[in-house]
Structure 1
Amino acid sequence: MAVRTFTDNSTKNFGIDAKCDAGYRVLAYSGSLGGGTLQVFTKAGDASALVPLADAKLSAAKLDDNGDAIKQMVFVSAGQVHVTLSGATAPNVEVSVE
Structure 2
Amino acid sequence: MANTEQSKKRARQSEARYAVNKSRRSRIRTFLRKVEEAIASGNGEAAAAALKAAQPELARGVTKGVLHKNTVARKMSRLSSRVKAVVKA
Richer in strand (by share):
1
Q: Which has the higher contact order (CA 8 A, sep 6+)?
A: 1
Q: Normalised by the size of structure 2, how large is the TM-score?
A: 0.29
TM-score (norm 1): 0.27
